[in-house]
Amino acid sequence: MLYLIPTPIGNREDITQRALRLLGDVDLVLAEDTRTSRPLLQHYGIETPLRAYHAHNEHALVEQLVTELKAGSTYALITDAGTPGISDPGFLLVRACRAAGVDVSCLPGAAAFVPALAASGIPCDRFHFEGFLPHKKGRQTRLIHLAALPNTFVLYESPHRIAKLLGQLEEHCGPDRQACVAREISKLYEEITTAPLAELKADYAARTKVRGEIVVVVAGQ
């Protein structure tokens, strides 16, 4: 059995009791970054062994992990924050497990785009989740496609790229399109701002330093 276990995106109290129980019961925890995950497990007194599983080694490890799981091991997969497979490592292992007949179970839990979308005040009855845009090749094509969507769309972005992204969104969607920038979700300095793209771009362009992972929600055309 492989368990996909969401971990808090900021506030440690957001982890579920079931997640904590399973993290203590499994044979091994596969972690995107053991340096990030170890303090979380230690905080809750969990001593399960950790093994690194991330974007740089997942192709090399998948076959070995599936063999171990088929032999009877039970593992949990976690990422630095949020739900494995959602803009984080996980898909390759899940696909391989499914193909090999290994059971996979995903616990409900944290995903940054959900609270950002719900708190934005922008229509969320239908939406498109894009995640991270490509940095170079294909970026303009995706922006053109997203700008024409009739429904809300959701992006992830890093702090040092947010001002550039908001400028590109303003260029393709227009300065008056409503959008929301959600930063540091569930943390002490959580900030969720909804305004026209022109205002958001000006705000973030004027900031000397931006912290935290960021979710951008943009209204449809």
pLDDT recorded at residue 167: 98
pLDDT digits (tens, 9 = 90+) for 21-72: 999 999 999 999 999 999 999 999 999 999 999 999 999 999 999 999 999 9
> Is residue 197 within 8 Å of residue 169, measured between CB atoms?
yes
| CATH number, domain containing residue 12 | 3.40.1010.10
Residues 83 and 22 grouped into a single domain: yes
Amino acid in position 91: F
Q: How many CB atoms lie within 10 A of CB 49?
A: 9
Residues 68 and 165 grouped into a single domain: no
* Mean pLDDT taken over the chain: 97
Amino acid in position 170: E
Q: For the chain, percent helix, then strand, then coil, each to nearest 5?
A: 40, 20, 40
| End-of-domain residue from the set 69, 84, 106 | 106
Q: Average pLDDT, stretch 198-203?
A: 98
d(CA 157, CA 175): 19
pLDDT digits (tens, 9 = 90+) for 69-113: 999 999 999 999 999 999 999 999 999 999 999 999 999 999 999
pLDDT recorded at residue 201: 98
The Cα angle at residue 103 between residues 101 and 108, in degrees rounded to 5: 145
φ, ψ dihedrals at 86, nearest 5°: -95, 95
Smallest Cα–Cα separation from 8: which of 89, 86, 109?
Answer: 109
Q: Provide the domain limits for residue 85.
A: 2-106
- Give the total number of structural domains in the chain: 2
pLDDT recorded at residue 89: 95
d(CA 100, CA 103): 9
Band the pLDDT of 144: cuts 50, 70, 90: very high
Residues 78 and 139 grouped into a single domain: no
> How far from chain centre, in Å, is Cα 83?
6
Strands 214-218 and 178-183: antiparallel
Residues 119 and 29 grouped into a single domain: no
Band the pLDDT of 168: cuts 50, 70, 90: very high
pLDDT recorded at residue 33: 97
The CA radius of gyration of the chain, in Å to the nearest whole number, is: 19
Q: What is the model's pTM?
A: 0.92
Task: Name residues whose C-beta falls within 8 Å of residue 117's C-beta, 6 or more positions apart in sequence.
Answer: 124, 127, 152, 154, 215, 217
pLDDT recorded at residue 44: 97
In the numeric block, which tokens belong to residue 57?
């080694």
78 vs 213, more confident: 78
Residues 55 and 142 grouped into a single domain: no
pLDDT recorded at residue 132: 96
Task: Name residues whose C-beta falls within 8 Å of residue 86's C-beta, 6 or more positions apart in sequence.
Answer: 111, 113, 131
The DSSP call for residue 155 is E
